[in-house]
Structure 1
Amino acid sequence: MSELTDPTDAAATQSSKKGKLLPILLGLVGAASLGGGAFYAVYTGLVLSPNPDQPTAPAHVVKDFSFVPIDVITISLPPQSGARFLRFAGQIEVADSSLETMMHMQPRFIDLINTYLHAVDIDDLREPAALIRLRAQILRRLQMIAGDGHVRDFLITEFILD
């Protein structure tokens, strides 16, 4: 004859499994509740709110800068390039304390950008990441001729291949 399992043993095993899962489940729910509550308290300023005497602008926002414009530069492209010209314009972000000096250097900046754009291969300009590389290369060159701490960023405001 075959052995029959006792129904009381099966019920005991099942309740034993539930007894092991209950504390884990309660712990997860409690941790999620506490985490959500802590996030809400910090987010709304109930806890760790900034000092009202200090400005509330984030630390990474820089307020002492100006822009030196780079007017439109038009470069004729070779006939085999598939485009007739490149129109390019930008803005150089400089420290406010350096604005006057950097404005005097504007012709040098324009010459640098013009020379660099003439040296870039037209196929490189058609790649998806071309503007990112172009911006980084020009920024690095501007920083080198301006000196340390003067040029903070370079913004491309117009880039047209036609």
Structure 2
Amino acid sequence: MADDQTDEGAAEGSAPKTKFKLIIAVVGVFAILCGGASYYFLFMRQKAEEKHAEAAAVPKPPVFVDVPEVLVNLSNLPGERVQYLKVKIALEVKDSPVVAQIQPSMPRLLDIFQTYLRELRIGDLQGSAGMFRLKEELTRRVNAAIQPNQVNAVLFKEIIVQ
């Protein structure tokens, strides 16, 4: 009987030690997995994204089309002195094939610019808000004239009001 009690005590004493070892092993494996995942997401993933970004196609620089200089007199009330507007414009397009398609439409674009600019008053050109509205309106009119092609922006190279 004494031997039976020692066998039961040994079995009970070894069970908590094996459970403790098992818990330590599971926590250790979990810590290693978490550390590996953290390392990947913090360091390796950024390198993979950088390689992917480098592999992406480098965007082409835009192409600019110079429009001949436009000189118009501004709209004014009778009796006021005549004021003139001189504008040098460049059109920003995506790539050079669009330039070849825009060149035949250049007389139409000049006509659109002149007819619109002649209707402006000096107050329409005041401040940066006036210049922004002018740029947006010219871009909209150019895009309507050269459809299906598109101009990204109308850029002012020189503007003189006299």
Can you give the 5+ residue segments of structure 1 that lack an aligned partner in the other structure? Answer: 1-41
Can you give the 5+ residue segments of structure 2 that lack an aligned partner in the other structure? Answer: 1-41
Mapped to 2, the partners of 1:56 and 1:98 lie a distance apart of 20
Shift of 1:46: 7.7
- The one-character-per-residue Cα deviations of 1:97-133 (angstroms, maximum 9, x if unpaired) are 2111101111111111111101122211124411100
What SS does structure 2 have at the residue aligned with 1:80?
coil
Which runs of structure 2 are paired with 1:138-149 in the superposition (5 Å)? Answer: 138-149=138-149
8 Å CA contact retained: 1:93, 1:151: yes
Cα distance change of structure 1 residues 55 and 141 upon mapping to structure 2, 3 Å threshold: same
Q: Computing the radius of gyration over CA atoms, which structure comes out larger, 1 or 2?
A: 2
Mapped to 2, the partners of 1:54 and 1:93 lie a distance apart of 26
| TM-score normalised by L of structure 2 | 0.59
1:54 aligns with 2:51: no
Mapped to 1, the partners of 2:66 and 2:136 lie a distance apart of 17
- The one-character-per-residue Cα deviations of 1:51-79 (angstroms, maximum 9, x if unpaired) are 1752585xxxx416322211221112456
What SS does structure 2 have at the residue aligned with 1:88?
strand
Identity among equivalent positions (%) equals 23
Count of residues in correspondence between the two structures: 115
Equivalent residue number for residue 63 of structure 1: 60
Mapped to 1, the partners of 2:44 and 2:132 lie a distance apart of 41
User: What amino acid is aligned across from residue 89 of structure 2 in structure 1?
Assistant: G
Mapped to 1, the partners of 2:138 and 2:83 lie a distance apart of 22
What SS does structure 2 have at the residue aligned with 1:130?
helix
1:74 aligns with 2:71: yes
Aligned CA RMSD, in angstroms, stands at: 2.8
| TM-score normalised by L of structure 1 | 0.59
Equivalent residue number for residue 112 of structure 1: 112
8 Å CA contact retained: 1:89, 1:156: yes
Cα distance change of structure 1 residues 56 and 113 upon mapping to structure 2, 3 Å threshold: same
Shift of 1:89: 1.0
